[in-house]
Amino acid sequence: TKGDGTDTGDGLSRKTLTELPYAKMLNNVLPPTIRVLGWCPVTPEFSARFSATNRTYRYYFTQRHLNLSRMRDAIQLLVG
């Protein structure tokens, strides 16, 4: 976040916090095949590896040059 001071008229100043557009900033430097869709703040103790209770991964493939039969056979090796 970034802040700018605002004079309240009583000699005090308040900071207005504005959230930075993190997803947009990251997408500007990532290759077009990788996209950030969202984010959320976490405590300093949070570990993406050890604290997460679940994860969801989505992979998108183009239809060109895919051997779907071999892919179905291969995925069966991972079931279990």
Exposure on the CB side of residue 45, measured as CA atoms within 13 A: 0
- In this prediction the pTM is 0.43
Contacts with 14 (C-beta within 8 Å, 6 or more apart), sequence order: 5, 6, 8
What mean pLDDT is predicted for residues 35-46? Answer: 90
Averaged pLDDT of the chain: 84
pLDDT of residue 8: 62
User: pLDDT tens digits for 24-34?
Assistant: 999 999 998 88
